[in-house]
Structure 1
Amino acid sequence: MNPFSKGRYEHIPTHLYYLPHKLISELEDSTPSYVIGSRGSGKTTLLKSLNWEERIRNKWLNQELGGDAFRGRFIGVYTKLPLIQVRSFKAWLREHVGATSDSLFGYYVDLVSIENLAFSLSVIVNEMHIDVSPENESVAVSRFLHDSDYLIENEGDETNTLVGVHQAIRQRRRRLEKLAQAGISPSTCLADFFIPEIGELSRSFCSIFGALLDASTETEELQKWHFKFCFDEAECLDDRQLLVINTIIRTTESPASYVISFVGQPTDLSRTLHDNLTAQSADRFIHFLDHITRPEFENLCDGIANVRIRAQLESEGRLPGDLRQFQTANVLGRLNLNLLVHELVSKSESGEAKALEKLAERFRISPWLQDGESLSVPPYIEAHLADVLKLTPPPGNESNAKRRQASQEFRKKFVASYLSICRELKVRKIPYAFANMVIGISDSCVRDYLSQMHQIFESFEGGLVDFVNGTVDWQLQSDAIHIASDNKKRSISSGIEVSKPENVRRLTYCLGALAAVLQQGTKGTVIHLRSSERGIFQFSEPIGPEDKNPLLFDVLKDANEAGFIRVKSEGQRILGFRVHASMAPSFGFSYRGAYYPVVIKKGDVIKMLETPDDDDLILLAKQIGKRISEPGSDSAQMTLWPTDDASGFVFDDSDVL
């Protein structure tokens, strides 16, 4: 069995969990959270890990929690928003935008939340996971129904149990759904039965039953119980519905709390229905899963892999004592680009390869190297850069000057030089190998990491223990990484991930080819080395949903959410975009994606969407690349060092050393 299964959470009967400490601590906190990330970044796993039933019944999660299913002293309930009647409410209230429709949708969200929580609490209490006496339960139910007496419409429906509360709320929720489906006027609904303020029902329920749990369990004063409503796939909400959710979160009070997940950037997480009431940083956490640092992502991947490997071996009844902790770097090795070039040069009889060998030998004995510095393989990349860019070493033995030049002239351009050498050597299938490349190609997406490791393990001839305790040949890695990238590229046409598959395919194919042209360079040019790893594409002005050509915005948004394109955005406006690094092996650009911006015309991108043939897309990419790289082009004059920000387009050259 391959432990690096690529299956989605929804398709795996018993899910395995690895919980990153800092992130899960903030999600377990009573402060509300928004979780934002592309598909495959782990949103559903995180939200499910907060669900009370999963914490009690999933042994792998329970182990991660140290056996404490109620760690953090909360009860979480999970709701997948597309499975409730969100679309029905959109259609129903589309013609009635205003306070009435907002109140109805807010009330519906409250009913769904408390129906789920009331049922969950009844099971928890009945199964004795928390010891609550029937008398105390009855008193709490009576208090809640006294505060919300409109829930009981018939005297015969009165109850003193959580089960009864669940049934009463479910009946009211279903009635509201029927009104929506029938298209009854919202004003008629308000006259027909009482609608409380947005969030009032959940505030009342959580306050009363939070006090019940506090009184029923021994907890420290600072460890009071709270309830967490986890709403997944909130991208299905329209802008007005999102304002309602923001308002609920902004006006919520402990012990009620919310965790909301989105694919892609929501419209606005600060605005509410009240002009003078906005959500601030202190009101909630916002977690951008696509923008975590490379070391954080590598630790996350290693943690997930360890959990999967140990579960696999345990299920097979063999967990050897000498099994080492899985680390991607141990199994795949740390990046050595000169080694990859050495392998290519050693197998080539071309004049270019012989010339590069001579350059490297001259560089090895030149004043470039610091005193005492030794190299395991010839310095092909440094020699190539020094030759092409006409660099000269600092005079004498100024080690500090050499270090500065090593960073500015060499390290930041290592990957660009590697790609350029591969082009000059006419390498048809550029090698991609080692842990740094696998992590970079994954582009902060756990699913892409697992996809690559899945293929690598499939190609490995030994068993799982040998895989973990050994090292994998770089050539095997490269072949497997190419398979994973090609599989993802072909998946665009399936339409599983995107709503406009053909448009997304054309865009990704052409931009991927264009990124390769810009980063590999062409014969006789050096701009790809002076401003390396270009491929963050920017229009002269940002675009948004109101753009004159909405198809362009929709396709970019669609491709971003599916993990084929990465966009830099501000609210709903797209400022820049690049091809997802998982496409790098298929097209031949940097495993780090792109770091430097170039200006691209909207007309060029629209032409990509209108070009059906793959060969024509490649030709178009070459034409655009040639124009961008022409001396004096605005695109060739972009800032050399982009600034760090929260977009995910941040330069990190630490992995090439």
Structure 2
Amino acid sequence: MSINPFQPTKFELENNPKIWLNPRAKSLISAKKPSFVYGTRGCGKTTLLRSLHTKEILGNTILREQFGQRRLNWFGAYLQFNHNFQFITEMVLDVLGGKEQDDKLDEIKRYKTFCSYFEISLLESVVSDLLALEDSGVLHFSGQKERKACSEISALFGKISTKEAQVVYDYGDLKRLLRSLRASFTAIFDLEKIEAVKSVVDSFIPGTLLRIIREDILGSVHCRALEHGAKLGFVVLLDDCESLSKSQQVALNTYLKSNEGVSRWIIAHVRGQYNTSETFLPETYLNYADRDVAAIDELTDSEFSSFCENVATLRMRTFLEDHSPKEARSDDQMTMEIFGKPSYNTLISAAIGGYPSKLVTDFKNNVEAYKNYATNNIKKEDWPRFSMDDGKLPYVEYVVAKIGNVPIAELAVEASSIERLKKRIFRKEAAAYVYACHLCNRTPIYAGGRFVLWASDGNIRDFLDIMAEFFDQYALKNGATSRPLKAAVKTIRRFFNSSSNLDLAIQNEVLLRVSGRSLVSIEDLQHTSEKYLYRLMFGLSKYVQLLQTDTSDNKAILQPERGVFRVSGSAVDSLSKQPNFEKTVRRLERDGFLVVNKTEDVENESFVEFRLHKRLSPALGISPKGAYETVLLRPVGIARLLDDRFATDPNTWARNEHEHVSSVDARQQKFEM
């Protein structure tokens, strides 16, 4: 078994996380307004927040050095929400008397209950971090200020009869008290605990504990790596906020608005699953004057490539420093160049080469004939721009010209049209590549840096998963079975050598394997109690295959990369036994099968627009670029896929939809311009 620097791929599973400091993290820490950051699962939200978590920074030399500051002027406290938080406060509300007759009183009760549990949880997190840092010798406390802070908090909870509330002299006592109070919220069948919860909810005004943290507790901290007193700001890092219920999200927004200026906030949530505007305050919403909103997964290809390179470099470099210091070099940098930049024509040649058949022979002859015709019309100096050099065959250009109705040879005569012509070819070349392979009854080869990035789909966790597979493959070639450490070091040195491209066949094998795992996960859904998820995902996957690989349908080239699905979620809900279609799609997005492009309301109908995750492309044999052209889905068909009473065959559904496919006219026209 190999030792792999790219595993685990999830922050929560790492014992000693290697964090690359995203430049965006530094900009967020200096923001005055609360920042809501969002993205898909695995795009790096948790890592970004943890990179600003003071306990993580002071205990992680690699991360600390990346800040380049002798003293940090903020203290970052990290708190991760989960569905338990939602259930606990809802249960407490039931125990405390249920819903009030007056809606406004009910809102106040919900708000106070949420704030009580939230502030106690936040305070416990801060105190736990400080005590852990004290134990490691990183900081110490001013005894007088520590006692003052404890005295203030003890006074707030003076009416509580638990033994932990009786003696609170230092932060150790305070931690025990807070743990006891938080436990009271879950012990709803214990009358003593219920009384304690009632006292807690009524014992302080929301925001009180936040101010004590900022002014008193942090004021008691002495640390060489942190500013002291008023110079030390407080940053609250809240993760997985989509786990909160709708009313809790409104409560959190209300809390932010009511406590402006006390601390800075960075709130992370999954795209489209948090209400960043609504509050309980009369006629008051959070708007752009109150908060910033930033997508951390909307990166350009260049930005995402750089992100991946930096994360991979840090993981491999620190692995060498930990396990083989003599092999570590400060200037080591992995680049996507190790995967090479094979052209589509090169990949087609590799896919159909060595497989003589009438289909392949006829296709090559047609391309040869087209090349002879085109070179008689195009100036010789322009031949390389259209893959018509000596010894090359312009497979892609032929498909675009003949199937896509783009008269390359005629248009290339005018020098002024060449750049525009190249852009038209570029827009269709991935679809033409897939089309050519399937025309010859060959499976497309997935290899090259852009293919790796596409399969990652803007998701750093998926990129690391792919890199882990690459690493295992090469480590095995280097003798990982008998010498795992030596093989790992040798593999890292290979990956740092940008002039040594990884073998195309191995790249294809790895991407197919990673993609195949996702397809197997979809197939596994049919053996669960949620078979409707299998029918939906398998049906959508088969449908995209038909849209992009059916060589009898020239739309695969005329309208390339169809497969962005748009459907009325409200219409599906009215026809289906499965409630809330949008929630189902969001669930599949969290599982890494779909990507939601947008949701919108149009004339009292709620529409959902989504596509397959690009990681599925190799296993399905479709365009590596993913889907870009919109296709309308019929709600009745989706409803039948979801309804166990019909148990619609997903293959049959996909074939029926393919026969009735209808793309959005405006997008077709825009594409053909």
User: Which amino acid is 1:430 matched to?
Assistant: P
Alignment of 1:547-626 (within 5 A): 549-550=578-579, 552-570=581-599, 574-609=607-642, 616-626=649-659
Deviation at 1:535, TM superposition (A): 0.7
Alpha carbons 2:617, 2:624 under 8 Å: kept = yes
In 1: Cα distance, 2:276 partner to 2:372 partner: 58
SS at 2:615's partner residue?
Answer: helix
Deviation at 1:215, TM superposition (A): 12
Say if 2:398 is the partner of 1:383: yes
CA contact (8 A) 1:370 1:402 kept: no
Structure 1 position 75, deviation (Å) = 2.0
Instruction: From 545, 553, 556, give the equivalent of 1:516.
Output: 545
Name 2:74's counterpart in structure 1: 74
Indicate whether 1:354 and 2:354 are aligned: no
Matches within 5 A, 1:237-248: 237-248=244-255
CA distance in 2, matches of 1:339, 1:269: 48
Change beyond 3 A, Cα 1:536–1:164: same
Structure 1 residues 500 and 609: CA distance shift in structure 2, 3 A: same
Match of 1:431 among 421, 445, 459: 445
Q: CA deviation at 1:532?
A: 1.4
User: C-alpha displacement at 1:583, in angstroms?
Assistant: 0.6
Aligned to 2:470: 456
Task: Tell me the secondary structure at the aligned position of residue 204 of structure 2.
Answer: coil
Q: Distance in 1 between matches of 2:525 and 2:50?
A: 26
2:432 to 417, 426, 430: 417
Deviation at 1:390, TM superposition (A): 3.7
Deviation larger for 458-467 or 580-589: 458-467
Residues 171-191 of structure 1: CA deviation (Å, up to 9, x unaligned):
43333443x455999999657
Match of 1:535 in 2: 563
The partner residue of 2:496 within 465, 468, 472 is: 468
Measured after TM superposition, the shift of residue 296 of structure 1 is 1.8
- Counterpart residue number, 1:198: 206
**Deviation for aligned residue 1:615:** 12
- Distance in 1 of aligned mates of 2:30 and 2:422: 45
Contact 2:222 2:228 in 1 (8 A): no
- Tell whether 2:178 aligns with 1:169: yes
C-alpha distance in 2 between matches for 1:551 and 1:472: 45
Q: How does 1:157-556 map to 2 (within 5 A)?
A: 157=166, 159-178=168-187, 180-181=188-189, 194-211=202-219, 224-320=231-327, 325-349=332-356, 350=358, 351-359=361-369, 361-362=371-372, 365-368=375-378, 371-374=381-384, 375=387, 377-392=392-407, 393=409, 397-407=413-423, 409-427=424-442, 429-460=443-474, 461-462=477-478, 463-464=490-491, 465-469=493-497, 470-492=500-522, 502-523=531-552, 525-539=553-567, 549-550=578-579, 552-556=581-585
CA separation in 2, counterparts of 1:64 and 1:550?
47
CA distance in 1, matches of 2:107, 2:191: 16
After superposition, the Cα gap between the structure-2 partners of 1:196 and 1:137, relative to the gap in structure 1 and judged at 3 Å, is closer
Partner Cα separation in structure 2 for residue 273 and residue 164 of structure 1? 35
Matched to 2:495, the amino acid is F
Q: Is 2:13 the partner of 1:11?
A: yes
Please, which runs of 5 or more residues in structure 2 have no aligned partner?
A: 100-105, 479-489
CA contact (8 A) 1:352 1:424 kept: no
Of the structure 1 ranges 244-253 and 386-395, higher mean CA displacement relative to structure 2 is found in 386-395
In the aligned structure 1, how far is the partner of 2:425 from the partner of 2:347? 17
C-alpha displacement of 1:426? 0.8
Q: Deviations over 1:426-453 (max 9, x none)?
A: 11x3211101011011111122212222
Aligned mates of 1:421, 1:117 — CA distance in 2: 59
TM-score by length of 2: 0.83
Select between 162-171 and 575-584 the one with higher mean Cα deviation: 162-171
* Residue 397 to residue 7, structure 1, CA distance change in 2 (3 Å): closer
Shift of residue 232, structure 1, vs aligned partner: 2.7
CA distance in 1, matches of 2:457, 2:235: 30
Deviations 1:167-225 (A, max 9, x none): 443443333443x455999999657863433333213431334555699999599x932
DSSP 3-state at the match of 1:411: helix
Q: What is the DSSP-based 3-state SS (H/G/I as helix, E as strand, rest coil) of the residue aligned with 1:575?
A: strand
Equivalent-residue separation in structure 1 for 2:146 and 2:378 (angstroms) = 78
**Are the equivalent residues in 1 in contact too, given 2:124–2:179 (CA < 8 A)?**
yes
In structure 2, do the counterparts of structure 1 residues 450 and 218 end up closer, same or farther at CA, with 3 Å as the change threshold? Answer: closer
- Per mean C-alpha deviation after superposition, the further-off stretch among 573-582 and 537-546 is 537-546
Which residue identity is paired with 1:439? Answer: L
Distance 2:530 2:379 in 1: 51
Aligned length: 630
Compared with structure 1, are the counterparts of its residues 530 and 584 closer, same or farther at alpha carbon in structure 2 (3 Å cutoff)? same
Change in Cα spacing, 1:314 to 1:383, as seen in structure 2 (3 Å) is same
SS at match of 1:116: helix
Q: Which amino acid in the other structure matches residue 108 of structure 2?
A: A
1:75 aligned counterpart, secondary structure = strand
1:114 aligns with 2:114: no
Question: CA distance change for structure 1 residues 369 and 448 in 2, over 3 Å: closer, same or farther?
Answer: farther
Cα separation, 2, equivalents of 1:257 and 1:109 = 16
Distance (whole Å) between structure 2 residues aligned to residue 43 and residue 396 of structure 1: 47
CA distance in 2, matches of 1:565, 1:283: 32
Indicate the SS of the match to 1:291.
coil
Decide whether aligned partners of structure 1 residues 111 and 597 sit closer, same or farther in structure 2, where only a CA change above 3 A counts. same
How far apart are the structure 2 equivalents of 1:545 and 1:214? 58
Mean Cα deviation higher: 117-126 or 194-203: 117-126
Segments of 5+ residues of structure 1 without an aligned counterpart are 629-633, 644-650, 652-657
| Contact persistence 1:538–1:600 (CA under 8 A) | yes
Deviations 1:363-415 (A, max 9, x none): 651434673552464221112211223433456853221211221x3111111
Instruction: Say which SS state the counterpart of residue 283 (structure 1) adopts.
Output: coil
Cα distance in 2 for residues equivalent to 1:298 and 1:612:
46
Instruction: Give the 3 Å change call, closer, same or farther, for CA 171–316 of structure 1 in structure 2.
Output: closer
CA displacement, residues 318-352 of structure 1 (integer Å, 9 cap, x when unaligned): 45367864444211012411111122343242333
Distance 1:614 1:379, change over 3 A: farther
Distance 2:648 2:501 in 1: 39
1:565/1:578 contact within 8 Å kept: yes
| Higher deviation after alignment, 19-28 or 586-595 | 19-28
Q: 1:183 to 1:452 in 2, by over 3 A?
A: farther
CA separation in 2, counterparts of 1:614 and 1:479?
34
Taking the aligned partners of 1:23 and 1:188, their CA distance within structure 2 comes to 39
SS in 2 for 1:227: strand
Distance verdict in 2 for CA 1:282–1:78, change over 3 Å: same
Is the contact made by 1:538 and 1:576 (CA closer than 8 Å) also made in structure 2?
Answer: yes
Q: 3-state DSSP class of the match of 1:265?
A: coil
CA positional deviation for 1:134:
2.0
Question: How has the CA–CA distance of structure 1 residues 15 and 360 changed in structure 2, closer, same or farther, with 3 Å as cutoff?
Answer: farther
Identity of aligned residues (%): 20
